Each structure stands twice: as structure tokens, then as C-alpha cells.
Amino acid sequence: MFQTKDMQAYFSKQSWYRENPYYTGKLTDIESYNVELIKSRE
């Protein structure tokens, strides 16, 4: 799920973290729009 083993190890140790088996990593159209909007304003 995470890009690095360090991040996976960190979150695995957190009591509040639960991996979402349905997470695909893809952004919705609205999320993609928001990313582009923020990038254009930086």
C-alpha cells in the first residue's frame, strides 16, 4: 500500500490505523481537479 517500507512499518504500529482493502490509489475526478488547482496556484 505504501511506497516505502518505513511508512508501512510506521502506520502498521499505529492503533488507529486500519488498512482499507478496497483502496486503489486512484483519485476521483474531483480530487484530481483539486490537485491541479492547487498546483496552478503554487
Give the pLDDT confidence score for residue 37 in this predicted structure.
98
From the list 9, 6, 32, the residue with the least C-alpha distance to 19 is 9
From the list 20, 27, 16, the residue with the least C-alpha distance to 2 is 20
- Which residue's entry shows cell 482493502? 21
Give the pLDDT confidence score for residue 2 in this predicted structure.
87
Domain boundaries defined on the chain: 5-41
Give the pLDDT confidence score for residue 1 in this predicted structure.
74
- Can you give the three-state secondary structure of the chain, one letter per residue? CCCCHHHHHHHHCCCCCCCCCCCCCCCCHHHHHHHHHHHHHC
Give the pLDDT confidence score for residue 12 in this predicted structure.
94
Give the pLDDT confidence score for residue 27 in this predicted structure.
93
Q: What is the pLDDT of residues 1-42, one digit of tens each?
A: 788 999 999 999 999 999 999 988 899 999 999 999 999 999
CB atoms within 10 A of CB 11: 14
